Structure 1
Amino acid sequence: MSKRRYLALVSDAVQTCGVEEFARQTASRLGIRGRTHLLDGKIRTLVSALDDADAAILNFPVVAWKRKLAEPVSVALTTRLRRKDLVVVLHEWDALDWKRRLVLVPVVLLATHILFSAPEVADEFSISPLSALATRKRDVVPIPPNLALPFSLRSGSVAQALKEQRKAGRLILGQFGSIYPRKQSTAVLEVAAHLLAHGHDVGVVFVGSFIRGLDNVERDFYALADRLGIADRVTVTGYVADTEDIYGILNHVDVFCYLFSEGLTARRASVLAASFAGKPIVVNAPRQRNALAHHSLFRKLIERGAVRLVATDAGVGTMAEAVSKAPRGGVAPLDATAEIGALWESVIDALDAHAAAH
């Protein structure tokens, strides 16, 4: 077994994004072979940390790095000057703003190994001009859920409110994860309004917070809820730190609903995290036939009825019909801990495969 040591670069963010969680958990899953290092602009401490590592790992895009995009470049350069390997994990590519991709050019060119979060991201990168200049040592890795499963549930005020709504006969739709335009979270509002118009008593809970950028995500979200006449049926929790609280809330969701602009892809770790609440998830199917071929957990969730696929280009009516039927079907249990462990073994194998290729 390889004894290769890794240094994962992380931020000091308290409210972490999924990519940040992946970076931190990678170091944790590596055990004594993995350490984290704070991206704080201090090259001297970085050099010291690199002395005890064989490779550095940089993940993109980390939300907390938006204001310090020059630092990953200096980290990449320092890593290579110290004759250490540089593993770059690209969770997105075409979805990134072109200015962010431009800043990442030197980082990618310095990489000795590139990992992608999904075949779609690998394909996007392969047709970019940068691909011809970058390393050919590339792999697609399965992204595990971005949450660790809790040992117990905590029933806070939001969970109690949802419990009371369900007692009164209300169907609770849910989504876990950050709220932003590309995720099309507002489609769930439209699904809820459609169901309400057809005689269903529904409520919606979003367990997550808005990603604030140049657009008015939060303002537009609530404006749509008002126009649809469901504002009093919508709950947005904001960032929830503890998994006991998160799953305490998710436990009171009847059906999870996602309608992604590109269809389901393997990098949607928030869908995996939601699946462990044991409730059905209705989501539009991947565009590519091989999109989930490398991801054993997604395949099993579909096989066992936990993830219910509708057409990739499904409209609100189709989604609403699938949501209304979803609670009637059972969800076959699986050993979540074992499945998550298997995914992390695949990630670590991909990291170590590069060492074996030296």
Structure 2
Amino acid sequence: MTSEPAYQALFLGAGPHMQCGVGHFTRLLQEAIEKLEPGSCASLTLTRSEASAADIWRAVGSAQNVVCNFPIVAWKRVIVRPLLALAIARLRRRRVVLIQHEWGGLHWLRRITYIPALLLADTIVMFSPLVRSELADDAVVGWIARKCVLAPLPPNIEAPAGIADSRLRERLAAAREEGRLVIGHFGSIYPGKQPNALLRIGAILKERGLKPLIVYVGSFIRGVDTVEESFYTRAAELDLIDDVVVSGYVASDHEVFGLFSEVHAFCYPLDEGLTARRSSILTCVQAGRPLIVTGPALTDEFDHHPRFRELIDRGAIVLVARGSEDEVYAARIASALKWPTIQARFDFDGWWQDVAQAVRAQLV
């Protein structure tokens, strides 16, 4: 006689030692669903050396659903094992719930590695109508978009009670004392975020005598793109080499928000416009500094995400019309010097409860 699975959901992950946004999101999502129904979830660590086919077979058999935030870690490191787990889940008639954060912004080689996971999924959870439409418009796998459901994305990082000092924070504080305009940009640096576009805006501010210092709190994504090389080449062309700082990996949330405390304003000139999947935007908002970003491409981008919409409506996120010249962004940043710092309450747990309920609704 076949016994009932012990868990409602098995989460695929790469273990707590893997420091990446994808893995962190998976752990927080599992914890949030566990709060709704304690004891309902289990996890399976998949690395190059952990989880044999037999281990995966047993783990998949212990749950009714397999949840995979693909890729579970940096895309080149662990690809085969998650796909094997999803294939075994289908073979064992377990429901596969795939979490997919982006599509059109991915390099074409990455999209190829994602396609098997999309095919194996019963349901695909996405966070942005724009990303869903990008998948639907794909000439090869566009039909898969009919599997998609939307969920509200929360931020990965919660503003801590205190902040930590660092050499970079001291440098930013000194720059402010010298009358420099500190502009922030948080998160991994890759082509989809148009990091070079902010450089052009910085050059305009420099021409106007505002002495900008642009701080990118994050690091370049290692991949097939030459984003880091082109970034510094462009900074040199604009005579901004001494006006740009890239922090690299920052180990603690306290240190991250320590850096945020010295920022006058954040700016994201995005070619695709603001989407509901921009977790980095939600992290920055918690600092209470003005955040200036390109408006969304779709009018319904935030219809499924009332908390995100509320941030826009009350002015915590300032939208710049799509197609605006760089001068418009520069003017908004300059005016931000006159805006007060607003530390509104941010219901971090509530944001995560929303996404947990949305994902849980897809489980059998």
CA distance in 2 between partners of 1:252 and 1:34 (Å): 40
More displaced 10-residue stretch of structure 1: 249-258 or 290-299: 290-299
Which residue of 356, 359, 364 corresponds with 1:351?
A: 359
The DSSP-based 3-state class of the residue aligned with 2:171 is helix
1:37 to 33, 38, 44: 44
Bigger mean CA deviation after superposition, 280-289 or 301-310: 301-310
Tell me if structure 2 keeps the 8 A contact 1:305–1:331. Answer: no
- CA contact 2:57–2:85 (8 Å) conserved in 1: no
Which of 20, 23, 26 is the matching residue for 1:23?
A: 26
Q: Which amino acid aligns with 1:342?
A: G
Tell me if the contact between 2:8 and 2:64 (Cα under 8 Å) persists in the aligned partners: yes
Q: Is the Cα contact below 8 Å between 1:4 and 1:352 reproduced in 2?
A: no
1:264-299 CA-to-partner distances (Å, cap 9, x unmatched) read 111110011011111000101001011122222321
**Cα contact 1:172–1:203 (8 A) shared by 2:** yes
Moved over 6 A (4+): none
Tell me which amino acid in the other structure corresponds to 1:347.
Answer: V
In 2, Cα distance between the equivalents of 1:180 and 1:138? 25
For 2:252 and 2:229, the matched residues in 1 are separated by: 27
**How well do the aligned residues superpose, as a CA RMSD in angstroms?**
2.2
Show CA shifts across 1:16-74 (max 9, x none).
44333222211121224333322225222223333432211112345513244333321
Letter in structure 2 aligned against 1:130: V
Cα deviation, residue 4, structure 1: 6.3
Structure with higher helix content: 1
Q: 2:97·2:362 contact (CA, 8 Å) conserved in 1?
A: no
Distance 1:106 1:230, change over 3 A: closer
8 A Cα contact 1:282 1:319, kept in partner: yes
Alignment of 1:190 with 2:200, yes or no, is yes
Do the aligned partners of 2:124 and 2:148 also contact (CA within 8 Å) in 1? yes
- TM-score, length-scaled by structure 2: 0.89
Q: How many angstroms apart in 2 are the aligned matches of 1:243 and 1:137?
A: 35
The separation in 1 between residues aligned to 2:158 and 2:61, in whole angstroms, is 30
Flag structure 2 segments of 5+ consecutive residues without an equivalent. Answer: 1-5
1:177, distance to aligned residue in structure 2 (A): 0.3
Distance of 2:107 and 2:243 partners within structure 1: 34
Distance 2:113 2:147 in 1: 21
Count of residue pairs brought into register by the alignment: 351
2:307 aligns with one of 294, 297, 304: 297
1:145 is the counterpart of 2:148: no
More displaced stretch, 215-224 vs 42-51: 42-51
Task: Work out which of the residue numbers 242, 254, 258 in structure 2 matches 1:248.
Answer: 258
Give the counterpart letter for 1:350 in structure 2: A
Q: Distance in 2 between matches of 1:331 and 1:172?
A: 14
Which of structures 1 and 2 has the larger relative contact order (alpha carbons within 8 angstroms, sep 6+)? 2
Report the AA paired with residue 354 of structure 1.
Q
Structure 1 residues without counterparts, runs of 5 or longer: none
Structure 1 counterpart of 2:307, one-letter code: L
Asked whether the 8 Å contact 1:9–1:38 carries over to 2, the reply is yes
Quote the sequence identity (%). Answer: 35
Preserved contact between residue 288 and residue 344 of structure 2 (Cα < 8 Å): no
Aligned to 1:79: 89
